[in-house]
Amino acid sequence: MFIYLMEADHIQNSKEKTLSQKVADRIIKYILEENLQPGDKLPNETIMCQRLNVGRSSLREAMRALTSRNVITIRQGSGSYVSATPGMIDDPFGLTFVEDKQKMIKDLMEIRFLIEPSIAAMAAIRADETDIKNILTACKKAEKLLLANKNHVAEDIAFHTAIALSSKNIVVPKLVPIINGSIPLICESTEFPMRDETIETHREIADAIAAHDAVRAHDAMYLHLVYNRKYIKSIN
């Protein structure tokens, strides 16, 4: 089936989430565990509160959030249903809901090899001072967290997103979910074994873009992806 979710621990550290976000993750987990399909109806509010062990207000807030992300559809007078066309604003391809996560991450890496080195090259040519500042800032923040053995997923995503936006290509931002989709699965661990390689290649990518060196940026991004692919193979 084409449903759908990276489990909650692949999305964000639970300690950083609000109560409604945690409940939303549990609803998503419930959908997966019950093998619910697009269009299937969820249990009523009372049953969901009991199964998730949450209050009505928390459940309702989480359901509203999932509705805004097109995960859930609420039909007045009928109930709540799994969206017939799942896909969130920040995940237009519905990658969050792919069941086979191992295959998804491999497939995502294939696409990243096709597009991301070229995106880095475009960024090197087109990035302005603000773009470069954003890239360097995200690079430094990610490096600081890596050196402290802390979860750096958010800053890693910010780094790659800043590069994509710096390409000045109106289509590239639409591809950002492809780039970002695999990052939490690769580097969410606080004991990330590719710390040094990531720091080195991130610096090289950022410096190449800052120097407006398209070839160097392309090659640095390609090397970065090679390291990531090697790590993926080592854990599968």
- Least confidently predicted of 67-76, 134-143, 155-164: 67-76
What would the pLDDT profile of 116-148 be if each residue is shown by its tens digit? 999 999 999 999 999 999 999 999 999 999 999
Q: Is 183's pLDDT higher than 80?
A: no
Q: Of 148, 151, 216, 154, nearest to 180 (Cα)?
A: 154
Question: Residue 236: its pLDDT value, please?
Answer: 67
pLDDT band (50, 70, 90) for residue 13? very low
Q: Reply yes or no on domain 8-82 having CATH 1.10.10.10.
A: yes
Supply the mean pLDDT for the chain: 83
Whether this model's pTM surpasses 0.75? no
Per-residue tokens: 168: 């000045």
pLDDT band (50, 70, 90) for residue 169? very high
* Domain edges within the chain: 8-82, 101-235
Question: Residue 192: its pLDDT value, please?
Answer: 64
Question: Residue 91: its pLDDT value, please?
Answer: 65
Protein fold of 101-235: Four Helix Bundle (Hemerythrin (Met), subunit A) (1.20.120)
Per-residue tokens: 134: 């954003």
* More confident of the two residues 88 and 78: 78
Rounded CA separation 72/84 (Å): 9
Residue 30 CB neighbour total at 10 angstroms = 15
Per-residue tokens: 68: 């805004």
Cα distances (Å, whole numbers) of residue 209 to 53, 120, 132, 135, 180:
49, 7, 7, 9, 19
| Consecutive H or E run containing 74 | strand 72-75
